[in-house]
A and B are shown apart, each in its own frame.
Chain A
């Protein structure tokens, strides 16, 4: 079946550098994409989302890029801080029609490690 996946399981960056976390999705019908951050022992925390009618969305220190042509999603974190250490998941909502009955489909996650 179709699923969301991530390119790299672990990403190590220097404090202060920019981080880019990638995600590939295979369901061309997906309409809505979300990035979550999960720290050890906690539930996923919403970071930023994007709908399929957009190709870029910016938040505070974070930017999500969507390339529908190659079905690729990325999360950019500017000036990475120690508190950014976590596992990052991309998730997709296949229908995005307001029902949400299928639930979110998550990838396996990328562990972001910040080096001092």
Chain B
């Protein structure tokens, strides 16, 4: 186990609703990255948070937003849900420093189903 936890485990929403997913990073890690994994595909990078600010973003629209808190935990918010948002949402934590990139360790994910 990595020590990265996510909640909830499963979630069902309807199109147009909003959802908030939560992630607690591994102890000692200061960076959280979020990924979307569609069925049968590899994870796709949504964004990363470092020092409570968005540190980089993949090809996702602005209705995907996030937060990072002083304890390094993080939230992913998705507004105006669409059917294609149905996926496994993964959180990964890492310790990013100036010299080298540390490995990203993933949580178990939240399975979001949009009806």
Q: A residues engaging B (CB < 8 A)? A: 32, 34, 36, 41-46, 49, 89, 91, 93, 96-109
A22 CB to nearest chain B CB (Å): 15
B42 CB contacts on chain A under 8 angstroms: 89, 91, 106-109
Query: How many angstroms between the C-alpha atoms of A109 and B37 in the bound complex?
Result: 12
A99 close to B101 (CB less than 8 A): yes
Interface size grouping (class) on chain B: 20 to 34
B41 close to A98 (CB less than 8 A): no
Query: How many angstroms between the C-alpha atoms of A105 and B101 in the bound complex?
Result: 15
A102 close to B45 (CB less than 8 A): yes
Q: B residues engaging A (CB < 8 A)? A: 2, 4, 31, 33, 35, 40-48, 55-56, 58, 90, 92, 94, 96-101, 103-109
A101 close to B90 (CB less than 8 A): no
B103 CB contacts on chain A under 8 angstroms: 34, 46, 49
B90 CB contacts on chain A under 8 angstroms: 43-44
Contacts A44-B90, A103-B46, A109-B42 known; list 8 others, CB within 8 Å.
A98-B97, A99-B96, A103-B33, A103-B45, A107-B42, A108-B40, A108-B41, A109-B41
